[in-house]
Amino acid sequence: RKEVEQDPGPFNVPEGATVAFNCTYSNSASQSFFWYRQDCRKEPKLLMSVYSSGNEDGRFTAQLNRASQYISLLIRDSKLSDSATYLCVVNKPGNTPLVFGKGTRLSVIA
Amino acid sequence: EPEVTQTPSHQVTQMGQEVILRCVPISNHLYFYWYRQILGQKVEFLVSFYNNEISEKSEIFDDQFSVERPDGSNFTLKIRSTKLEDSAMYFCASSVRGQETQYFGPGTRLLVL
């Protein structure tokens, strides 16, 4: 079983749409959870950390379900500039290696 | 805003040659990492470095790889004898002690011919 699994997509959505991405992780020792964004041929950039209680940052909402080992990202009112690959990332406590999913590609269409 | 920098941005080399990829982590960060991403694949961990020694490494990081912090600012990844399958994007990252968030450099695209 892959450590972090994501639907690769692509998700093609019109501007203004709401889109949700899901991710599952296999290592129950994982303690920290993130969504990174990666543009084509660029570095991963932190979008948001994911907290147990769920958290929101503007149009982005992240949820964590530790019992199901499941993480989600909701993007509301999609913009053209949201087009990118969204990477689900986990790691164990401390300054430990990040474990990446393969990413979900999003294309927002005018 | 401080950021991780990497040089060169692109490197083309012949199989069997040595390459050195350079990184300047964020200045107050103490943990440094190298990751690679083969085209179309996920980002994979190579090695982490703290207090002038390797703290963790993956199966990918074999004897052909080495890391060094030659001075107070640079952090390098050396591949001794490159193989075709080493062609990838190599990302350096750094983090503050006690914080899991890692900040990535723009990467070096390595092409081995």
Pairwise CB contact (< 8 Å): A97 & B48: yes
A-chain residue closest to B41, CA distance: A102
- The DSSP secondary-structure symbol of A67 reads T
Does A95 contact B at CB distance below 8 Å? yes
Tell me the DSSP string of B34-65. EEEE-TTS-EEEEEEEETTEEEEE-TT--TTE
Rg of chain B on CA atoms, in Å: 13
Shortest alpha-carbon distance between residue B51 and chain A (Å)? 13
Burial of residue B10, with CB atoms counted within 10 A of its CB: 0-12 exposed, 13-18 middle, 19 or more buried: exposed
Torsion on CA atoms A47, A50, A54, A60, rounded to nearest 10: 10
What would the mean pLDDT of A106-110 be, rounded to a whole number? Answer: 96
| Exposure b/e, A17-33, CB count within 10 A at least 16 = b | eebebebbbeeeebebb
Give the pLDDT of residue B94. 95
* pLDDT reading at A107 higher than 80: yes
Distance, first Cα to last Cα, chain B: 37
* pLDDT reading at A1 higher than 80: no
Pairwise CB contact (< 8 Å): A44 & B98: no
**What would the pLDDT profile of A37-95 be if each residue is shown by its tens digit?**
999 989 999 999 998 888 999 999 999 999 999 999 999 999 999 999 999 999 988 88
Per-residue pLDDT of chain B (113 residues; tens, 9 = 90+): 779 999 999 999 999 999 999 999 999 899 999 999 999 999 999 999 998 999 999 999 999 999 999 887 899 999 999 999 999 999 999 999 888 889 999 999 999 99
The pairs formed by A2-5 with CB atoms below 8 angstroms and a separation of 24 or more are A2/A26, A2/A101, A3/A27, A3/A90, A3/A99, A4/A88, A4/A89, A4/A90, A4/A99, A4/A100, A4/A101, A5/A101
Nearest of B95, B83, B85 to residue A93 by alpha carbon: B95
Q: Which site among B92, B102, B108, B111 would you substitute to test the A interface, given the most A Cβ atoms closer than 10 Å to its Cβ?
A: B102
Burial of residue B42, with CB atoms counted within 10 A of its CB: 0-12 exposed, 13-18 middle, 19 or more buried: middle
Give the pLDDT of residue B73. 84
Chain B residues 1-30 with CB within 8 Å of chain A: none
Pairwise CB contact (< 8 Å): B101 & A96: no
**What would the pLDDT profile of A6-23 be if each residue is shown by its tens digit?**
998 899 999 999 999 999
